[in-house]
Each structure stands twice: as C-alpha cells, then as structure tokens.
Chain A
Amino acid sequence: AQSVTQLGSHVSVSEGALVLLRCNYSSSVPPYLFWYVQYPNQGLQLLLKYTTGATLVKGINGFEAEFKKSETSFHLTKPSAHMSDAAEYFCAVTPNSGGYQKVTFGIGTKLQVIP
C-alpha cells in the first residue's frame, strides 16, 4: 500500500526566504507524485507533478520539486517566498501501475509567510 508523509503541518518563513516543504512516500514501485495547493476558501489546484523523465519538475508560481528515488522524497521548494504563497500544500501519490489508480494525499502543510 502506498502512503505519503509530510513533515511539518505548519511552516513559517519570512518573505523573500527559501520555502522548503517536505514529502516522503512509501511505495513498492516509484509512484506518480503531485503537489497541490489550497488557498483559503478554495479547492485544491495542481502545482506540479512528476510522472516520468526529468526528476526536477517546475510548476506554477515559481515552485519546483525534485524526485529522489534513493530518498523516496519529493520535496517542494521556492527560492523566495511571497506573501501570496500563504496557503496549504498537499503532496499526493498515485500508483505507477495498471488498473485503478487511487490518489493518496498527505495531511497537508500550512505555509505562513511573515512580512
């Protein structure tokens, strides 16, 4: 069975500082990996995803994530935080296999950006 662990349910950074949100997965076969963002009072929207190919994935709003198979990680980064980045971020995985591909979400990390 697959699972996702997000370290840190709350992360605070200063405006302009590096954003690092951690995600580790557990799966017998490297899964497909996603990061979603949820702004207040809104649904989730896709930030970026890794399926195959280049392990460094760039997403919207300056975010990127790197798939590291040896570390079973898919951490999300942004070089310089902006006030508008304050939101909740969810890492998600889905099996890289045939048949029904269930999406499993982490518990989420709330990012606070301090002026």
Chain B
Amino acid sequence: EAQVTQNPRYLITVTGKKLTVTCSQNMNHEYMSWYRQDPGLGLRQIYYSMNVEVTDKGDVPEGYKVSRKEKRNFPLILESPSPNQTSLYFCASRQGRGTGELFFGEGSRLTVL
C-alpha cells in the first residue's frame, strides 16, 4: 500500500530537549516536504527536498533542520524545541512536477512545555 509514515504521532516534550520526527514514503517519490498546521493559518511549509541531498527552506524554517540522505526518508529535527513549535506536523511527498498529487502522512501532534 502506498503510504507516508510519520512517527511519533503524538509527543509531549519540554523546552530544549532535542527531538526528531521521522517520515518515510514507499512510493519512490523525488519530492518531500514538511508542513505545520496551526488554527487560522492553514498549512505552512517548513522545509522541502527535491531529491536526495537537495533540501531548501520553506516559509517557516526557523528552529528546524532536515536531512535527505535516502530517497524514502526525510526526518524533521527540532534541535532545541520551544513552546511556539507546539503544532500539528505533516510530511508529504509527490512524484516530480507540481501537477502531481501530494500524499500526506497522518500527522504528528507535538506539544512543547
């Protein structure tokens, strides 16, 4: 089954404690992206990757890091989480050009105390 898998689905952590949210897709997609969803703001892009070892900032990259060492994986790293990073995070992937459908993971709800 074609899918994007995120882990963990739910996490409560404290300020400053490094964490990683993993994302893996099994569709051999070139493009992967991270979004955060906040009430009244819709989805905002954090980082994206056009292919292995190719990443770039989205609209709200501050406080986040990513890496793309393998085509299927695109982890999101919060080196020193802060309360304003409390949000619902989505990983998505698509094959190539912008006409393609984005496939989303089920989301990771992060709370930073």
Contacts and interface: CB of A to CB of B under 8 A. Distances in A.
B104 A49 contact: no
Given A107-B41, A107-B42, A46 B102 contact: yes
B90 A90 contact: no
A90 B98 contact: no
Interface residues of B, number: 24
A107 B40 contact: yes
A107 B4 CA distance: 23
B45 A51 contact: no
Interface residues of A, number: 24
B32 interface: no
Interface string B31-74: 00101000011111100101000001010000000000000000
B104 A101 contact: no
A9 interface: yes
Given A44-B90, A100-B50, A102-B45, A51 B99 contact: yes
B101 interface: yes
A14 interface: no
B105 interface: yes
B40 A94 contact: no
B98 A32 contact: yes
Given A9-B40, A43-B4, A90-B43, A103 B99 contact: no
A44 B102 contact: yes
A95 B97 CA distance: 10
Given A41-B106, A44-B102, A49-B99, 10 more contacts: A43-B107, A44-B90, A44-B92, A44-B104, A49-B101, A101-B97, A102-B45, A102-B58, A103-B45, A108-B43
15 contacts: A32-B98, A41-B106, A41-B107, A44-B43, A44-B104, A46-B102, A51-B99, A94-B98, A95-B98, A96-B98, A100-B50, A105-B35, A105-B42, A105-B43, A107-B41
